[in-house]
Amino acid sequence: MRHAKRVGLICLGLFSLLSGCSQSTTPGNPEPAGRTTAPQPVKRVFDVNSGPHAAGKQVLVAHGCFRCHTINQARGPIGDGQDDTLPREAGPELGTAGADPARTVEWFMAFIRNPRFEVPTIRMPPYEGKINEKDLRALAEYLVSLK
């Protein structure tokens, strides 16, 4: 009888382990082994205030660049006072904007002032006179750093 009881307890323990009954799925505990949940989309957050290029990032936000652009698939806030619920335009991803060695700080400054000098049909508006030189340089230095 003792042997049958032991075998029964072992079987019950194995069954509960395999079925996941003995594990909790409360917050902080991982999903039991063998169970999977649908992958949740990752919302990438743009860090505006840290790093060596925080000033350039803040210019990017202040002038509404995230209305059209992403950086490494992250959407940042739109700081241009416009309604953030409006649909965003589809501009180029900027995560590797500085990878081309021809795109120097001076190139980016000229491009941002007047994008049509490079691409006459571009939808990006010119920022000549809208961004002061110090902020424009900070933004260009940030964009060059994106490799």
Where would I find the H helices in 100-145?
Answer: 105-113, 133-145
Taking only the tens place, the pLDDT of each residue in 13-50 is: 444 444 444 444 444 555 555 555 666 655 667 888 88
The residue ranges of every structural domain in the chain are 1-39, 54-145
CATH number for the domain formed by residue range(s) 54-145: 2.60.40.420
C-alpha span between 70 and 93 (Å, rounded): 5
C-alpha span between 52 and 34 (Å, rounded): 44
**Predicted confidence (pLDDT) at residue 127 exceeds the cutoff of 80:** yes
Under DSSP, is residue 70 helix (H, G, I), strand (E, B) or coil? Answer: strand
The whole model's pTM is what? 0.66
